[in-house]
Structure 1
Amino acid sequence: MLFATVLATLAATAAAAKDKRTFAVLHHYGKGPLTTCRADPIVSPGGPSSHVHTVMGASNFGLNVTGELLRQSECTTALPKADLSAYWFPTLYFQDPVTNLLEPVDMFYMNVYYFFEPTNDDIKAFPLGLKMVSGDPMLRTAPSTSGANQLDPSKGPIQPVQITCPRTSYNPPSYPPDSDGSRAGIVDPNNQGAGIGFPFQDCDGYASPMRVDVHFPSCYNPEAGVEDYKNNMQFPTDAGNGKQDCPPGWIHTPHIFYETYWDTHKLLPRFQDLLGKKSPFVFSNGDVTGFSAHADFISGWDEEELQHIIDTCDAGHAGIEKCPGLKYGVNDPSTSCNIKCPIDEVVDGKLEKLPGNNPLTGWGLGGGDQSSASPSTPSSSSSDSAPNSASSSSSTRAAVIKVPSPTTLIAVPTSTRAEQQPAAKVEEEEEEPTQAPPSPTSKGVRTATVYDTVTVWETKTIYERDVQSPAPTQDAAEQPGSSDALHHRHARHHLHHARIPSRRHRK
């Protein structure tokens, strides 16, 4: 029996090295994101981050989080139950060209591709708690003279982000011809449906409004460790024969790729007059260019289950939930996993300023400096350790920080902000005050006494109407000559998201 077990282990390890790409898409489900929140436990642990993020994944997401804490979550937006990771990225806002007020754009849906690339290395599961950041939130100038991705460090600076704009027609083009990035984005020379920077046209492709794409590196340096997100990861390099390898001593992990779709097309009547001239969209960090697209990840995977997926599954667009032999199974897609943000402030409605008081920057509006707490610099006084919690319980304890909004509220749904108060305050929930967590470093944030409270995370079950699958349609952004094979039939897997408006079907 022992001999058979050893043989099975060796066979699984051998299977992890790949001669061709295999992949499976991680689908999310439920009503909207997990939360929309000015929190970033990687870059700004312990207090408010400099800008708002849209968060997907496990319900124990908060101001301080570890892989162990994520594994105690009660629910996740991911369909595979074994994935209790956290995925987040800057929220997209729309600036009304008439009023100049800012409002969040609805997130349409999100996919995370898990690619297992051709390599001579053994591909291993993420270590629990691995923290990664990809993209540069401070960029306001074009990262390259080409709109294409560049993911091989041996061939020059990494360019891991793009914005994809599927359209029924690319006449006129999405980006001004011959753009050098100083006044507009730059088209991908191999795919007219993608580029760097916000496009200047409406993204009206079937079931595919504007999409922000972020590639993550897949080589992990165990000497740096899971916490050192600035030094623990890099992209693999060309090893010949179509394979990419990691440096000696590094661990080759899955290559993950975020696709976040934003429902920009429904806003077209309000920015019709801007087409071809400028974009009305801005990231929550104040970036009007789109060059600063970025994303964050903390692994909360069951490592054994992820290794099984790496070794055995090539489910492709059907999704990880279709991989055979999943030990933990799949979540019920008729439910929803949502939590309250531990930062109590206004982030929605129609606002005069972005939460965090981030000024609009880029393309003639100034540089990228937004606050004394740079998004690219971790808080010097905060710790990534989880708040005190009983290890035997799946519940968590979290500080609820009520922040006076630096924005002027114009219109906010009353159901979400009825309790807003003009001064910094913390709501107490049957707990005695304890020592406050490290002071937030974001500019314009004031806090008074902070209490340790019982968990504020909430989950709720929402039952929604069954939806009919539209006929499979080739995505307008899928170009036969594209150099990147990552853009496939996106319209076919959006069914795992709650909103599927029929108006997307255009001929």
Structure 2
Amino acid sequence: MYWTSLLAAVTLAIPSVHGFIRFGCSNLVTERFDPLVTPGQVSPHVHQVVGGNRFDLAMDPNEDFGATATCTTCRFKEDKSNYWTAVLYFRHRNGSYIRVPQMANHNTGPGLQSGGMTVYYFQPSPPTKDLNITSFAKGFRMLVGNPMRRSNDIDPSTAAAQATTFRCFQGTSPGAIGAPGTPPEDTFSLPNKICTGGIRSNIYFPQCWNGKDLDPADHQSHVAHPVGNGFFGTDCPASHPVRLPLLFMEINWDTRPFNDPKIWPKDGSQPFVFSMGDPTGYGQHADYVFGWEGDSLKRAMDVCTGADGLVTKCSALTVQTTEEMNNCRVPVKVKEVIEDKYLKQLPGCNPIQRGPGYATIPKGCNALSTTFNAPSPTYAPAVVTPPWTVCNAGPTPEPLTPACDSIPGEKPPAPVVTPPPA
């Protein structure tokens, strides 16, 4: 369920929310590399990246990305951070693969963003003992999830068990009201059924910091989830006492073109697989590099304390149009085909590994690893028309839904983009 509608409900399924900001980010680049993966940990696999246009192979931790990026795919111009996730592929009955398109989320209009995700920054809420938050600092990075995981091996009584989950949409219904990640509405594994309206990834990053390290070698040990099995109203562990904004992301995968069971695998298994060869969904993961301009995130957290998350109500930040978001892109650096056509195998050295043991890195990988200086994209980015409302165009405004004409210069919805035949 999208959060703006959830918070409009008379009775909430979560404790009182102190405030949050919510905004869409279009796709910046789809690429087979990950600057936060240490060599030997996982084979390079295709990721989708959103945010500021300083994303590159080096990702120098000493660089101030908020100051050096010249544009961002996010609705707020001040957010030059980078957010990236593994890409989902469809596995056809004939054994070929094609990247699953992404589509705009509920209430992210006006305009349709090109793929990407919806980003949230939540403030802590009662009965949390410490309601004060510390903003991320320059050089801060973190990773949530484990790309090598292939089974449900996380203690269900912990928050980590709900940190990377999936919502199966049926038709235009967003699902039951409740905090994303909560079973049985959402699952840790990829849905094993046809989701007629698409599949959404729900990803919570750790919100507790040790107060010292900005980016350790594993990109994870400096942060932790709160104690208990929830993300709201819970306290940080003593080992990580500093409260950060709760970063949450939603990615809507447009699985509608693949709803015909006749093209699913003959054994009836669910046909979607992540780019690192994960058909289970347990390996879902995401990366974050902080890149807000100056103290803009801290200002927003101090001022934008409403419980609706609407971008136009956050006076501390600058809103840009969807067209500006969509047209901020960087060139692909690895010269290979990774999308828009069926492939014989997943890009890179990423065979299907079902588990239940952890995935291993194949030996003797000869996948393309060189990069080249490609020109910046000049063609119009592809967009998908989702089955739900992204803004309110009717005479009777829907609660907490942005008006389609609230920002000048927005473009009307584009046609649905469908994949080519196998």
TM range (shorter): 0.7 to 0.9
Query: Do the aligned partners of 1:494 and 1:500 also contact (CA within 8 Å) in 2?
Result: no
Local SS of the residue matching 1:314: coil
The Cα RMSD (Å) is 4.2
Residue 87 (str. 1) matches residue 83 (str. 2): yes
Local SS of the residue matching 1:36: strand
Shift of 1:169: 11
Shift of 1:221: 2.0
Distance 1:193 1:344 in 2: 40
More deviation, 456-465/278-287: 456-465
Trace 1:39-58 onto structure 2 (pairs within 5 A): 39-44=33-38, 50-58=44-52
Map of 2:168 onto structure 1: 165
Map of 1:408 onto structure 2: none
Distance 2:386 2:345 in 1: 39
Distance 1:502 1:356 in 2: 29
Matching residue's letter, 1:125: S
Shift of 1:219: 1.4
Shift of 1:318: 4.6
Map of 1:421 onto structure 2: none
Matching residue's letter, 2:290: S
> For 1:304, which of 270, 295, 311 is the aligned residue?
295
Map of 2:342 onto structure 1: 350
Map of 1:150 onto structure 2: 158
Map of 1:101 onto structure 2: 96
> For 1:211, which of 182, 185, 200 is the aligned residue?
200
More deviation, 349-358/493-502: 493-502
Query: Do the aligned partners of 2:348 and 2:368 also contact (CA within 8 Å) in 1?
Result: no
Distance 2:337 2:70 in 1: 26
Shift of 1:361: 1.1
Query: Do the aligned partners of 2:43 and 2:349 also contact (CA within 8 Å) in 1?
Result: no
Shift of 1:242: 3.8
Query: Do the aligned partners of 1:337 and 1:460 also contact (CA within 8 Å) in 2?
Result: no
More deviation, 129-138/58-67: 58-67
State the structure with bigger RCO (CA 8 A, min sep 6), 1 or 2: 2
Map of 1:230 onto structure 2: 220
Residue 359 (str. 1) matches residue 351 (str. 2): yes
Distance 2:382 2:181 in 1: 42
Map of 1:3 onto structure 2: none
> For 1:289, which of 243, 268, 280 is the aligned residue?
280
For the structure 1 residues 244 and 469, does the alpha-carbon distance in structure 2 shift closer, same or farther, using more than 3 Å as the test?
Answer: same
For the structure 1 residues 251 and 200, does the alpha-carbon distance in structure 2 shift closer, same or farther, using more than 3 Å as the test?
Answer: same
1:100-128 Cα deviation digits (max 9, x unpaired): 10111112131111111123152021111
Matching residue's letter, 1:131: R
For the structure 1 residues 446 and 79, does the alpha-carbon distance in structure 2 shift closer, same or farther, using more than 3 Å as the test?
Answer: closer
Distance 1:105 1:266 in 2: 9
Matching residue's letter, 2:365: K
Decide which structure has the larger Cα Rg and report it.
Answer: 1
Matching residue's letter, 1:332: T
1:414-456 Cα deviation digits (max 9, x unpaired): xxxxxxxxxxxxxxxxxxxxxxxxxxxx9324667x88x6xx5
Map of 1:114 onto structure 2: 121
Distance 1:318 1:278 in 2: 38
Matching residue's letter, 2:52: A
Report the TM-score, using the length of structure 1 for normalisation: 0.62
Shift of 1:309: 1.1
5+ unaligned residues in a row in structure 2: which ranges? 1-14, 105-116, 174-179, 392-397, 405-409, 418-422
Map of 1:59 onto structure 2: 53
Shift of 1:264: 0.3
Map of 2:235 onto structure 1: 244
For the structure 1 residues 117 and 302, does the alpha-carbon distance in structure 2 shift closer, same or farther, using more than 3 Å as the test?
Answer: same
Trace 1:295-334 onto structure 2 (pairs within 5 A): 295-316=286-307, 318-326=309-317, 329-334=318-323
Shift of 1:258: 1.2
Report the TM-score, using the length of structure 2 for normalisation: 0.73
Map of 2:110 onto structure 1: none
Aligned length: 363
Map of 1:426 onto structure 2: none
Shift of 1:143: 2.8
Local SS of the residue matching 1:344: coil
Query: Do the aligned partners of 2:28 and 2:49 also contact (CA within 8 Å) in 1?
Result: yes
Query: Do the aligned partners of 1:200 and 1:275 also contact (CA within 8 Å) in 2?
Result: no
Map of 2:18 onto structure 1: 21
Residue 70 (str. 1) matches residue 78 (str. 2): no
Local SS of the residue matching 2:260: helix
Map of 1:221 onto structure 2: 210
Shift of 1:89: 0.5
For the structure 1 residues 133 and 85, does the alpha-carbon distance in structure 2 shift closer, same or farther, using more than 3 Å as the test?
Answer: same
